[in-house]
Amino acid sequence: MSIFRFQQFSVIQMQSAMKVCTDAVLFGAMAPVNKGDRVLDIGAGTGVLSLMAAQLGAEQVTAVELTQASYEEAQLNFGNSPWADRLEAVHQDIQGFAISIGHQYDLVICNPPFFENHSKTTDSLRKVARHNDELPFADLIKSADQLLSSQGLFYLLLPVHAVEKFVEAALVAGFYLSKQTDFRGYSHNNAKVSALTFSRTDLVVSRALMTIYQSHRVYSQDSEHYLSAFLLRFSSQPIV
């Protein structure tokens, strides 16, 4: 069985198309979660971002997932976690969920399918997880607009090449980019993905470059600062 173990929870990832990866974990660890927040995770997959949000102090986390296999896995991971009473998995497309739900959230997080006009995998689950046919950027932005409170934040991970297009589309809907952190593997690499935070208030944009690794298998001080509360390698407790 494929299981990714964190300090306070584990993620079973047998059926979900997209497995736990460093970019996603760092993205989750840096999420702007405030204690007591109601958080919505769009395209939750295994539920790893929802679990991290719960650990960071979210009062309630709703994880919406389109595919049956990933939904079932997220539901299982939530039930096995210390925060089962604060985590809810919903099997539905976000477009329908946005129409049917009667309340709003303090934080909307999403690690969306983001490949456009690329050759597509023949694996149907990976196709849904990696390509935005089922969740075009316009639909994602519209759903976030419907579901986010007036003072809430919209937080997502995108490849660098897609940032400009998304920022322009978000601005039309009244979302302003407030923070952008670009991730690169090593200091000699170019950044490949960006963690973006949007709000409904026009603020000066904060920009940063995060180098994940100092050397082979050694995290940089910056990335360790965020990951130390999650990854087993940083645990003070013996691994059993």
Kindly report, residue by residue over 21-37, the tens digit of the pLDDT: 999 999 999 999 999 99
Q: Is 48 part of a structural domain of the chain?
A: yes
CA–CA distance, 116 with 169 (Å, rounded to integer): 15
pLDDT score of 118 more than 80? no
pLDDT score of 38 more than 50? yes
The whole-number average pLDDT for the span 86-114 is: 94
Neighbour tally for 43: CB within 10 Å: 25
Kindly report, residue by residue over 158-193, the tens digit of the pLDDT: 999 999 999 999 999 999 999 999 999 999 999 999
pLDDT score of 205 more than 70? yes
The pLDDT of residue 134 is: 67
Q: Is 115 part of a structural domain of the chain?
A: yes
Kindly report, residue by residue over 60-89, the tens digit of the pLDDT: 999 999 999 999 999 999 999 999 999 999
The pLDDT of residue 135 is: 85
Q: Which helix (H) or strand (E) segment is 142 a member of?
A: helix 137-147
Q: Is 239 part of a structural domain of the chain?
A: no
Domain ranges, residue 24: 3-234
**CATH number of the structural domain spanning residue 98:** 3.40.50.150
Q: How many domains is the chain partitioned into structurally? A: 1
Q: Is 134 part of a structural domain of the chain?
A: yes
Q: Is 88 part of a structural domain of the chain?
A: yes
Q: Is 240 part of a structural domain of the chain?
A: no
One-letter-per-residue 3-state SS of 62-82: EEEECCHHHHHHHHHHHHCCC
pTM: 0.90
